[in-house]
Homo-oligomer: A and B are copies of this chain.
Amino acid sequence: MILFLILFCICFLFSYEELEKGEIKGLFRKFYEGKISNLELKVLKSYFESLNLPVEDYIRLYTKGLLLEKQGKLKEAIETYLRSIELNPYYNPSYYRFNFLIRKVKNRELYRERIRKILEKRFKEAPPILIENPENHYVFLVEKMSQYLFIFKGKELEGMYPVTTGMNIGDKEREGDGKTPEGIYYFTRFIPPKKLSEIYGGVAVAINYPNPYDKLIGKTGSGIWLHGSNEEDRNKLPFSTRGCVVAQTYTLKTEIVPKIKLSNTLIGIYKVIPKELKTEDVKKFILSWKEAWERKDLNKFISFYSKHFTWKGGGLKEWKAYKRRTILSKKFIKVDISNLSILAFSKMGDENPRYYLVEFYQRYESDSYSDEGVKRMYVVREDGKLKILSEEFIMKK
């Protein structure tokens, strides 16, 4: 039996059938399965040599970092990844390796600071996902690859804070997967400190995860908070939560949370905040919607809504019935929109946003009824056209 096994192994190791058949692809399988021979490795090397594929230095540095990691040279690897990030501040693999590695070294707060300069440069101008934002409104942007929270006032970067997010890579899909959701949200409530377990460091703010878009694509889970910790510098240990975003407790209490207004502070969580994105003219879309409403053009007005539309009263059918009643009974309708915020959400590699979160202050006036308050809409693309996926209105009391 052993004889047979040995024969089999030898046959297998030295068959080179892939090479004889000219099937380079098979070598990749063998490499993956750990069965590749030295000769086959050389063939792969010469295969890549022959590829007309210029390799950028940030990629070379990344690969060098991997080899240094393998050799156990952690600090050198970290420095190498930093240089890679300097050359391409959007290259997520180097950020991830950097953040995973600093978990293993002392003085990681120093490394966390060293990346700050690169990020400041990146956000000298507001990223394309931040389409509209009133000058006195704050927008929170969390980037998972850099493990930083960026706070913009209007369209200016106002502050940068090291944070830590979910221990598992990727967008949250379901309860308990240890991932931080990627999406655009608003803050829903400040958790009363008395109700908090001590592990939260006495400060926690909830966001509306899962949002209507998340629900549409089947994401589950709950209790995603921005919070503190009773462990000092907990936020300096990248990728270590069960899905929440954790910032430094003192800064959270004194600098970050004071900027949050439940009525007008949006928060976007991205793997990578993109450098470029082709965004639609959402502002124009909103103004057309307003116009149709004011013109009491019910069909036109309803055409702005997605077939998946949800609101507190149900779906599109209920909305249509409700609007038929309220619009057609009016003699005139006047809608005023101000303080418009538009945030776009995209994932890596997307050319266009996946959806938008729109927020504005709405003053509604008609012959029989008037109100005002904050309106929020999630807007998606459906058959190539923008459509409102959800709408809510928080009336000013």
Given A21-B96, A28-B28, A348 and B15 contact (CB-CB distance below 8 Å): yes
A128 at the interface (CB under 8 A from B): no
Q: Does A45 contact B (CB under 8 A)?
A: yes
Complex Cα distance A53/B43, Å? Answer: 11
Residue A342, interface by CB 8 Å: no
Which of A50-67 touch B at CB < 8 Å? Answer: 50-51, 53, 55-56, 59-60, 62-64, 66-67
A4: which B residues are within 8 A, CB to CB?
Answer: 217
Interface check A31, CB cutoff 8 A: yes
Q: Which B residues are in CB contact (< 8 Å) with A324?
A: none
Contacting pair B53 A14 (CB below 8 A): no
A25 located at the interface, meaning its Cβ lies under 8 Å from any Cβ of chain B in the complex: yes
**CB within 8 Å for A63 and B43 given contacts A25-B31, A169-B20:** yes
When distances are taken between beta carbons in the complex, the residues of chain B under 8 Å from A44 are 48
Given A4-B217, A49-B55, A63-B46: A22 and B97 interface contact (C-beta under 8 Å): yes
- Copy total for this chain: 2
Chain A: interface secondary structure?
A: helix
A354/B7 contact (C-beta < 8 A), A14-B347, A19-B93, A41-B53 known: yes
Minimum CB distance partner of A38 in chain B: B53
Q: Is the CB of B63 within 8 A of A17?
A: no
A69 at interface (Cβ–Cβ under 8 A)? yes
Residues of chain B lying within 8 A (CB to CB) of residue A169: 17, 20-21
Contact across chains for A28 and B21 when beta carbons are under 8 A apart: no
Contact across chains for A39 and B22 when beta carbons are under 8 A apart: no
Name the one of B41, B59, B96, B350 contacting A43, with C-beta atoms under 8 angstroms: B59
Residues of chain B with a CB closer than 8 A to A93's CB:
16, 19-20, 22, 43
Interface set, chain A 348-382, CB cutoff 8 A to B: 348-350, 354
Asked if A24 is an interface residue, CB under 8 A from chain B, the answer is yes
B349 and A10 contacting across the interface, CB-CB below 8 Å = yes
User: Is the C-beta of A11 less than 8 angstroms from some C-beta in chain B?
Assistant: yes
0 or 1 for each of A1-14: is its CB under 8 Å from B? (1 = yes)? 00010010011011
Contacts of A42 on B, CB cut-off 8 Å? 53, 55-56, 59
Q: Are B60 and A49 in touch, CB under 8 angstroms? A: yes
18 A-B contacts (beta carbon < 8 Å): A7-B354, A13-B349, A14-B350, A16-B92, A19-B62, A19-B92, A20-B145, A20-B169, A22-B66, A22-B93, A25-B31, A25-B32, A28-B32, A42-B56, A44-B48, A46-B59, A46-B63, A49-B63
Q: Which 3 A-B pairs have the closest CB atoms?
A: A14-B349, A19-B93, A20-B96
